DNA sequence: ATTCATTTTGCATACGTATGCAAACACAAC
DNA sequence: GTTGTGTTTGCATACGTATGCAAAATGAAT
């Protein structure tokens, strides 16, 4: 049994109409009389006919495909992002061509796959693009949005949480509580998220005359766990640990617990993202909630509105602090 | 600036060859002289030409697309699965059309999206299909594989861990250690994974004259946490808790810790999956390691070999027990 | 019954590619 | 130079759909 393809032509034959008419039945807004519409739909139903998206895309240039590239990391935050993206895009009639990438930068080859399929837009999450790739995409006139990343040298849209001001608010809380011994554990240094959270946090506190000890992490649980463990072993148990994201904070939190340090009494721990795990009773991590849904909405909005391309836009959303049991 | 489409035709014009020749340059195994190949490639490079996958798929019936459907749950296990699938499929030249579904059963509508794009195969992870959807897919001659699920009433391939025998081995361990007070926390009852793990575990132990207390969970951390917490509050602290998956076991583990019960001395905890988190120092969960990579390989293998369709195949792989710090 | 405006339909073509077939070519052997 | 063999190329067509245009059908108004 070979591949059975039911084409509009066959439906047309059985329904005694032309192929054009069949096409029109499946094209919203086209002119077909109700009588023939029903006739065609009946035959189509019987034959299990479905318009071929490839042929359709070929002629209309509307593929209804969106390319989504994501870096392969452990952070559950991005899994939630992925879920929300696929749901919302699907609701708008788009299908998602998905790529996991292991590199910090999306590679040419991966973008090429997107281009081959004429995706209408590309969303890059937790990764970057080289500027010549962006240029190539601009040539092809396909809009790109960086999600939760930005790079001012890149000519593409960007949607993220306003990390700097969020971190400032966290810093304000720390300052207000009069803590003095403060540690910030970074994520990967080449990410804008980590840099901005560090900047907002540190700038505010130094402006108040406070010193922030910075430990260089890499957004993994393990690294953060060991950094904290070593710090404690060396006799330094700070009053505050702010992790560049939740995973980082959880690593620190576990290290503190293992060392028998009481949280939040001896040390306060704060994260960033609000992943599901952070609300688990064992952790009950106080953290900054990123407005994921809203961020996704904005991203999709940006891509849809691209026609009136008034240049690359940068959207920053706020989010809010949620106090659970690792702060007082 | 409208969409700029560089077609094989334009390349042909500039290279002074026919469109056919350009096509042949980009078709592996086609006959082109080295001289013209270079000439064409040079022009193609300049114009940034790329073959259009839609047009190509239309004529060859080879779309190089695979549909991947996954249920939207919290379990990090499936995120790892997703990562491995996309990587391995990409390596074989396939692109992934991705769908998150919220229902236990993949819906007709979601499958239709796959069909529109002429996917060559469909992988369903952590969800099921209705039998008439399967029938429709068979009509269209497109192979389906259930990953980590099976249903003997369904005429499609299936790849999973041999949950029954794995659970038996775990039961054997429990029996050997002479534990008597044994609890199993289920996952969702309508999943074959939970049913099989329960069956293997319980059957073995009852055959040895032991009784297993079964608590009905739903594969979420929260549910398992509260089940365990209540059990303890009611005065029952078992010697063994086996969770239907890691998330379940972790919920139980945290409830035990919160209640001040020493693990593994008073209670032993065992999970299933070996998600990344289970190796975190705080948890150090003893669990059954599913051979994900191998499972993915088998799945892809099954889909590729489908031509010699010798009926639906069921593959079960073994995996192994890893002892960390929640068992003795 | 005739005219006219409006809706519905079919014809023909285009989208960008792959491929069977035959023509053109290259090259070697005589 | 002729023949023959093997390779390279172009021509024409097909894939399944959408759409401008003109023909046909409908129906209202006279």
Residues A80-124 have pLDDT tens digits of 999 999 999 999 999 999 999 888 778 788 899 999 999 999 999
Q: Residue A141 pLDDT more than 90?
A: no
Domain range list for chain A: 8-51, 63-160+292-317, 163-290
Rounded to two decimals, the pTM is 0.92
For residue A277, the chain B residues in CB contact (below 8 A) are 221, 277
Kindly determine whether the C-beta of residue A118 is less than 7 Å away from any atom of nucleic acid strand C: no
| Strand C bases with any atom < 7 A from protein Cβ | 7-12, 14-20
Q: Do domains A8-51 and A163-290 have the same CATH topology?
A: no
pLDDT of the residue at A1:
37
Task: Supply angle C-alpha A86, A87, A90, rounded to 5.
Answer: 80
Q: Residue A289 pLDDT more than 50?
A: yes
pLDDT of the residue at B151:
85
Q: Single out the residue of B194, B165, B205, B215 nearest to residue B75, CA to CA.
A: B194
In this structure, are strands A320-322 and A286-289 parallel, antiparallel, or unpaired? antiparallel
d(CA B230, CA B57): 57
CATH of region A163-290, choose from 3.30.750.24, 3.40.50.2300, 3.30.70.100, 1.10.3720.10: 3.40.50.2300
Q: Residue A305 pLDDT more than 70?
A: no
Task: Supply angle C-alpha A305, A308, A312, rounded to 5.
Answer: 75
CB contact under 8 Å between B96 and A95, yes or no, is: no
CB–CB of A300/A89 below 8 Å?
yes
Q: How far is the CA of A29 from the C1' of D22 (A)?
A: 21
CB contact under 8 Å between B76 and A72, yes or no, is: no
**Which region among A262-271, A301-310, B257-266 has the lowest average model confidence (pLDDT)?**
A301-310
The fold adopted by the segment(s) B63-161+292-319 is Rossmann fold (3.40.50)
Higher pLDDT, residue A44 or B74:
A44
Q: pLDDT (tens digit, 0 to 9) for every residue of chain B, 328 residues total?
A: 345 679 999 999 999 999 999 999 999 988 899 999 999 999 999 999 999 999 999 999 999 999 999 987 778 999 999 999 999 999 999 999 999 988 877 878 889 999 999 999 999 998 888 888 888 888 788 899 999 998 888 888 999 999 999 999 999 999 999 999 999 999 999 899 999 999 999 999 999 999 999 999 999 999 999 999 999 999 999 999 999 999 999 999 999 999 999 999 999 999 999 999 999 988 999 999 999 999 999 999 998 865 555 688 899 999 999 999 999 9
Mean pLDDT on A246-271? 96
For residue A102, the chain B residues in CB contact (below 8 A) are 87
Closest CA in chain B for residue A247: B277
Q: How far is the CA of B16 from the C1' of C26 (A)?
A: 19
Paired residues of A161 in beta bridges? A317
Burial class (CB within 10 angstroms; exposed 0-12, middle 13-18, buried 19+) of A37? middle
- Nucleotide with the nearest C1' to A12 CA: C10
* C-alpha distance across the termini of chain A, in Å: 69
Q: To the nearest whole angstrom, how far is the Cα of B162 from the nearest Cα of chain A? A: 26
- Cα–Cα distances (Å) from B117 to A57, A119, A297, B64, B110, in that order, read 10, 13, 25, 10, 12
- For chain B, percent of residues with pLDDT exceeding 90: 79
What tokens were used for A237? 């148990």
Q: Residue A3 pLDDT more than 60?
A: no
Taking the CA atoms of residue B150, residue B154, residue B158 and residue B163 in that order, the dihedral angle to the nearest 10 degrees is: 20
- Nucleotide with the nearest C1' to B6 CA: C16
CB–CB of A71/A79 below 8 Å?
no
CB contacts < 8 A (A, B)? 135
What tokens were used for B264? 């593994």
CB contact under 8 Å between A282 and B258, yes or no, is: yes
pLDDT of the residue at A129:
85
CA dihedral over B241, B245, B248, B249, signed as positive or negative: positive
Is domain A8-51 annotated with CATH 2.50.20.10? no
SS3 (DSSP) at B160: strand
Higher pLDDT, residue A290 or B106:
A290
Is domain A63-160+292-317 annotated with CATH 3.40.50.300? no
pLDDT of the residue at B305:
63
Mean pLDDT on A222-248? 97
Q: Residue A134 pLDDT more than 80?
A: yes
pLDDT of the residue at B1:
37
* C-alpha distance across the termini of chain B, in Å: 69
pLDDT of the residue at B2:
44
What tokens were used for B51? 């073959």
For residue B97, the chain A residues in CB contact (below 8 A) are 95-98
Which stretches of A143-237 are DSSP H helices? Answer: 163-176, 192-207, 221-233
Kindly determine whether the C-beta of residue A262 is less than 7 Å away from any atom of nucleic acid strand C: no
């Amino acid at each position: 049994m070979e591949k059975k393809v039911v084409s509009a032509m066959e439906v047309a034959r059985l329904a005694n109409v032309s192929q054009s008419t069949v096409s029109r039945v499946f094209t919203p807004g086209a002119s077909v009389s109700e009588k023939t519409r029903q006739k065609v739909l009946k035959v189509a139903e019987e034959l299990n006919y479905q318009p071929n998206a490839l042929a359709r895309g070929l002629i209309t240039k509307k593929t209804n495909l969106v390319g989504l590239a994501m870096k392969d990391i452990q952070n559950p935050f991005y899994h939630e992002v992925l879920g929300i993206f696929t749901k919302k895009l699907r609701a708008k009639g788009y299908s998602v061509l998905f790529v996991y990438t292991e590199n910090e930068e999306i590679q040419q080859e991966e973008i090429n796959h997107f281009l081959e399929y004429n995706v209408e837009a590309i969303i890059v999450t937790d990764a970057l693009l080289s500027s010549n790739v962006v240029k190539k995409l601009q040539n092809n006139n396909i809009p790109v949005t960086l999600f939760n990343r930005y790079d001012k040298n890149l000519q593409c849209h960007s949607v993220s949480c306003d990390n700097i001001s969020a971190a400032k608010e966290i810093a304000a809380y720390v300052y207000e509580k009069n803590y003095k011994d403060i540690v910030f554990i970074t994520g990967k240094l080449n990410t804008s998220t980590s840099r901005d959270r560090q900047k907002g946090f540190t700038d505010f506190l130094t402006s108040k005359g406070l010193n922030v000890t910075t430990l260089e992490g890499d957004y993994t649980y393990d690294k953060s766990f060991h950094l904290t463990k070593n710090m404690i072993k060396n006799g330094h148990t700070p009053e505050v640990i702010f992790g560049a994201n939740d995973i980082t904070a959880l690593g620190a939190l576990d290290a503190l617990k293992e060392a028998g340090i009481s949280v939040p009494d001896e040390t306060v721990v704060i994260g960033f993202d609000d992943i599901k795990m952070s609300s688990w009773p064992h952790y009950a991590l106080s953290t900054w909630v990123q407005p994921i849904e809203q961020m996704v909405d904005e991203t999709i909005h940006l891509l849809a509105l691209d026609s009136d391309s008034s240049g690359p836009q940068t959207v920053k959303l706020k989010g809010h602090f949620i106090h659970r049991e690792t702060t007082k």
